[in-house]
Chains A and B, each alone.
Chain A
Amino acid sequence: MIGTEAQRVEKAAAAKIEVRPRSLSTARRINVVIKTTIAILASIFAIYPVIWIISTALNPSNSLINSTFIPRNASLENFQRLTNDPQHPFLLWIWNSIKVSGITAIIIVALTALAAYSFSRFRYRGRRTGLLTILLIQLFPNTLAIVALFLLLQQIGQIPGMSWLGLNTHGGLILIYTGGALGFNTWLMKGFFDSIPKELDEAARIDGASYFQTFWRVILPLARPILAVMGILTFIGTYADFLIARVMLKGTENYTLMVGLALFIQGRSQGWGVFAAAALVGALPIVVIFLVLQKQLIGGLSAGAVKG
């Protein structure tokens, strides 16, 4: 954004005031020491399970017993076990998760962009009502309709030729996830589109571009940041879903990672070491994405929440 000269001067002045004197008063120092202690304790609390899961993953004993913080004879045995356990096809689960979340994210971003373009660039009767309705309908979380969704997929699967959208299929799962495409996302993206000057569209229109060409060549390239943020957030959200995948998927070979993970430690097979290895591999990419893109992602989250 281009600020005026006066604004810039003001900002510089404000920055100068912020520079504090080097030495702190004793009370202030005690205050900082206490806060630092709290911060250290809270950080330990926050990463304690992470450290434990790393050490358990490296501990070849594969059980809860004797798990120490620093494993005595650390090895990558658990990671090797992951790749050749026919009962827990971990690599397949990861692939299923990536496939389902990836396709869902792409579809949702595409549908949201189309809808947001309409809401942002056209003026028509029912537009405000439409925006509001979308939001209100989304208030009904699809977890509450889980019985109906289950029966619906069952019915769809019985239609000849549509069995790939039925129960226990990834197609059906994606169908449910993408049903929520128009929701808060639309508002978020509409807000972003609104901030793109309309003069750009009009210039393109005068040059003879159709609405779709304007959308494709002018708006989308400028909206890349929000498309990426929304895509990543949708991917992460879908990747982490448990309930719907759990209800709709029956066969082990169709499980997503989140549904499959629980199998490592449930029932008779208490394979904590292998579980820990699987959890690390499954969570690491998400944690890294989050920490690297902290600013953008959290901006996206709270923009959706605070501003609407």
Chain B
Amino acid sequence: MHPRQSETRSQRSSNDSKQGGARVRPAFSLRDIIQRIAGLGFIDAIALWAILSLVGDGQVAVAIAVGVVTLFINYIFLNDRLYPIRWLTPGLILMLLMVVYPLIFTVYIALTNYSDGHLLTKEQVVTQLRERTYLPQDAVAYKWTAYRNPAGQFRVILQDEQGNRFLVREGGGELEPYAGTSDLPANLDNFQRIERLNALQYLGQLGRIAITDGDNTVRISSLDSAPQTRRVYSFDPSTDRLTDNQTGVVYTPIRGTFTAPDGKTLSPGFSTVVGFENYTRVLTDPNIRTPFFGVFAWTIIFAFMSVMLTFVVGLGLAIVLNDKDLPLRPLFRSLMIIPYTIPFVISTLIWTGLLNPAYGQFNTMLNDLIGFSPPWFSDGTWAKAGILFVNTWLGFPYMMLLCLGALQAIPTDMYEAANIDGASPWTQFRSLTLPLLLVSIAPLLIGSFAFNFNNFGLIELFNRGGPPIAGVATPAGQTDILISYTYRLAFSGGQGADYGLASAISLFIFLIVAGMTAFNFRFTGQLEEVM
């Protein structure tokens, strides 16, 4: 290493002094700078365009995210001191966009009532509701005559029952009194009258012209008439209230739904922040509480039992394979890791076939041996047993490989010493092998627990969480774990998707997993060792 480099390095905090490395002081040529500015200009142009069209679509959150990422790119590529960060940029951008942003977004959704029936924004809902019209009792039905100019624009003359005439210009909207001759003219300026025979083809276009007539809207609805219609609802932004013009009932927005004093609600609702309601619902709403705690308990049991079973089987087989006198060791080893190599979707589906109570070969075999064919899919307890059984098959090779590695790392002279001291094989295992093994394996056991805590695929493929828990209103099965319950809340149609509640439960799972991992790191000091 250059002496000059070590000089500058010694000025640095002790943080970085552990390992040697190139000091960052790259010299940049003019060509380099021009390339960089051209590249950044290109990226900025695209980003600006994306932001503008996003804001136009009302997707402000994504627009802000894109803006932040673009600023980040510019900052990194314009500041030469940040040269090393440039190497990380592509990965960091993807991480910001696809990991960090969804994480923040999840926190936000968990605070809203975002769900089926509450998917739109308030503005969208108000616009939608205000488009509803009705025919007032005293409605005037105008007769109409339309004119069209070569450019395809329209003018309309309306005539009410008393014979008063009004002129409407397309885009103008308002009615203007029209005092013309008793016969309507064939032309208005360069607009030519559309004869009734030809009017049909223009009816669709004419129907879209919104004609304001005082409180009412006039719409050309058929060849004969253009009746006055009235908006059902009028919205007052200053009081935030929606009034029904027919009945006079006033609706106020309560938690994303326009609600009348008598409790009547308007659909659709809109999405809005409801605070911690999703969390309190888990604790107070019996429809959610009952399945939630059942599901939570089974999640822990499932994850714990899966780790225990795979560990015990894996360790046992590792001890067997570790014996140098065992014939055909490489063959046995290869055969035993086969479950690990098959994609788990495939193996889980295979097992559902083998365990089919009526025709499955495994069950047929059990029936021949013990005269009983367990109902793996229709009975809750058997379904749980079946899942643990299949998961043991899926997971033991991983544990076996880990244990095998750890066993081989235990120095043999320790066993020699134990032998000299006259320790029995069981004592050797209990007070020598197991403790030493656990030191290196324990973090992985916790990792495996965290993995199984979120083992959605197995649960979904084995029995879709079934059989269902009887008598609850949210979709939940007896073998559902939290993550599959979340998935059902969010995406399964039956009861309607509830993204808000699903996100709240996701965060709950995250807290548990994060807590376990923090404990894991503290427990093992893993990070210090690596850094």
Chains A and B come from one and the same complex: yes
Interface residue ranges, A against B (CB under 8 Å): 20, 24, 28, 31-32, 35-36, 38-40, 42-43, 45-47, 49-50, 52-53, 56, 63-65, 67, 111-112, 114-115, 117-118, 120-125, 127-128, 130-132, 134-135, 137-152, 155-156, 158-160, 162, 175-176, 178-182, 186-187, 194, 198, 201-202, 205, 210-211, 236, 239-240, 242-243, 246-247, 258, 261-262, 265, 272, 275-276, 279, 282-283, 286-287, 290-291, 294, 298, 301-302, 305-308
Chain B: CB-nearest residue to A190? B530
Chain B: CB-nearest residue to A149? B102
Q: A138: which B residues are within 8 A, CB to CB?
A: 99
- Determine whether the beta carbon of B530 is less than 8 Å from that of A114: no
- Determine whether the beta carbon of B87 is less than 8 Å from that of A145: no
Which stretch in B133-141, B252-260, B507-515 binds the other chain? Answer: B507-515
- Determine whether the beta carbon of B342 is less than 8 Å from that of A144: no
Q: Nearest Cβ in chain A — how far from B467, in angstroms?
A: 17
User: CA separation between A202 and B23, bound complex, in Å?
Assistant: 11
Q: B517: which A residues are within 8 A, CB to CB?
A: 139
Q: B353: which A residues are within 8 A, CB to CB?
A: 52, 56, 64, 265, 272, 275
Query: Could you give 5 example pairs across A and B, Cβ below 8 Å?
Result: A31-B323, A35-B323, A114-B87, A144-B454, A262-B345
Which stretch in B167-175, B354-362, B368-376 binds the other chain? Answer: B354-362
User: CA separation between A229 and B95, bound complex, in Å?
Assistant: 22
Give the contacts of B29-87 with A (CB-CB under 8 A).
Answer: 50, 53-54, 57, 59, 62, 83-87
Q: Nearest Cβ in chain A — how far from B148, in angstroms?
A: 32
Chain A: CB-nearest residue to B321? A39
- Determine whether the beta carbon of B59 is less than 8 Å from that of A158: yes
- Determine whether the beta carbon of A308 is less than 8 Å from that of B526: yes
Query: Which of B98, B321, B345, B349 neighbours the largest number of chain A CB atoms within 10 Å of its CB?
Result: B345
Query: Which of A56, A162, A306 neighbours the largest number of chain B CB atoms within 10 Å of its CB?
Result: A306
- Determine whether the beta carbon of A38 is less than 8 Å from that of B316: yes
Q: B215: which A residues are within 8 A, CB to CB?
A: none
- Determine whether the beta carbon of A146 is less than 8 Å from that of B487: yes
Interface residue ranges, B against A (CB under 8 Å): 1, 9, 12-13, 15-16, 19-24, 26, 50, 53-54, 57, 59, 62, 83-88, 90-92, 94-95, 97-103, 105-106, 109, 316-317, 320-321, 323-327, 332, 334-347, 349-354, 356, 358-361, 393, 397, 401-402, 405, 440, 444, 447, 454, 456-457, 460-461, 483, 486-487, 490-491, 499, 502-503, 506-507, 509-510, 513-514, 517, 526-527, 529-531
Chain B: CB-nearest residue to A34? B320
Q: Nearest Cβ in chain B — how far from A89, in angstroms?
A: 18
- Determine whether the beta carbon of A181 is less than 8 Å from that of B95: yes
Q: Nearest Cβ in chain B — how far from A132, in angstroms?
A: 7
Q: A46: which B residues are within 8 A, CB to CB?
A: 335-339, 393, 397
- Determine whether the beta carbon of A140 is less than 8 Å from that of B99: yes
Besides A36-B326, A258-B346, A286-B343, 20 other CB < 8 A contacts?
A: A35-B326, A36-B327, A39-B321, A46-B335, A52-B354, A122-B21, A125-B16, A128-B531, A137-B95, A138-B99, A144-B454, A144-B506, A149-B98, A152-B101, A162-B50, A179-B99, A211-B26, A265-B352, A302-B405, A306-B440
